[in-house]
Structure 1
């Protein structure tokens, strides 16, 4: 009887090491890509707030009036829709913090005026929550007056994660201000979370312990 010797083939330690290195590089690339996407979203939110500020102040410079506060006759005289939401022309925007993400008060007219004047995109005739712009993170952009102890008209964004809120705060204030600078906000279970008038306490952006989303505002 002739006996034959069988050899089992398998991976060598060098081959296994090469495979592990390749897997590590792939995972590192995926994580790096996700981080870049997240950073891009954070920058887009800060840019959105700057854009609202630029549109609002450009409107004031051109028409010498607050968008949303003008009388209907004033707006229709420019050829804008007769269905525009008019204000009372008292040179004060009537938008409470609770109305920030409901598009109520004179905010409806504000967005219609900014769009009709060409300072922002969108349908000038749009009303309700659907008329509010959205950020690259999926949250809403709203305008209100004196939220979180800020003075004057402010732009707010909803639905930010703790990491995103930290990033936006850092971009706006130069360093992470923990709610004490120009960017201020709170976190809570509601989304969108309406801001309040009172200034928030200094709050560290702890991604481990804070799971609720943030609403962040800054003065225009």
Structure 2
């Protein structure tokens, strides 16, 4: 006569403990990955303004706004209508216009040896990207257009696109006041007007901009 045997309470307890340990390990691993991503994104917001002001310290003019870059760097000078060497970066933060200051800023920083990346403005590798694949860009608070210029507490803004809400909130907490609609950093829905999102959706991508 065959007799079916089930698990003993001890065996079930062992299985549950192992499952719990595995689940805890997976959750811890996800947390470490998320923290690494946020730190990588945060490094852009820390480093790029430093490059920006290092260029100003060396050449007494801002990158992109340097209309003599051809002379001392062999770079391109901005020639877009209305864009003058006036201490402000003009042009959209994500401009693809090769004569805009905001577009040429990256070439100037790279030719000066302050930032890494392609210096050929026609290269497919020229446009800077964050670790999530979203675009990076710098412009004046006035030229940003996505939010009222008075929202920001300084003249220039660094924007990083395609950042999930969960990471954007962590970034804001790490670098600013933790409120996506207040302070120097704003969490924005790309292409919309407003002062920022107070409660970003965790799995939705956002444009994060910080004044400096």
Q: Show CA shifts across 1:69-111 (max 9, x none).
A: 222xx32333524xx243543333212xxx2223432112110
**1:15, distance to aligned residue in structure 2 (A):** 1.1
Question: 2:160 aligned to 157, 161, 186, which one?
Answer: 157
**Structure 2: how far apart are the matches of 1:61 and 1:16?**
67
Given that 1:100 and 1:195 are in contact with CA atoms closer than 8 Å, whether structure 2 keeps it comes out as no
Q: Who is 2:74 aligned against?
A: 80
Q: CA RMSD in A?
A: 2.3
Q: Show CA shifts across 1:40-94 (max 9, x none).
A: 11121111111110000100011000111222xx32333524xx24354333321
Q: Who is 2:175 aligned against?
A: 172
Q: Who is 1:183 aligned against?
A: 185
Q: Are 1:119 and 2:120 an aligned pair? A: no
How many residues of Structure 1 are paired with residues of Structure 2 in the alignment? 198
Q: Are 1:200 and 2:195 an aligned pair? A: yes
Given that 2:66 and 2:77 are in contact with CA atoms closer than 8 Å, whether structure 1 keeps it comes out as no
- SS at 2:72 equivalent: coil
Q: Who is 2:87 aligned against?
A: 91
| Larger Rg over CA atoms | 1
Q: TM-score, normalised on structure 1?
A: 0.79
Where relative contact order (Cα < 8 A, 6+ residues apart) is larger, the structure is: 1
Question: 2:65 aligned to 59, 65, 69, which one?
Answer: 69
Given that 2:187 and 2:200 are in contact with CA atoms closer than 8 Å, whether structure 1 keeps it comes out as no
Question: 2:17 aligned to 16, 21, 24, which one?
Answer: 21
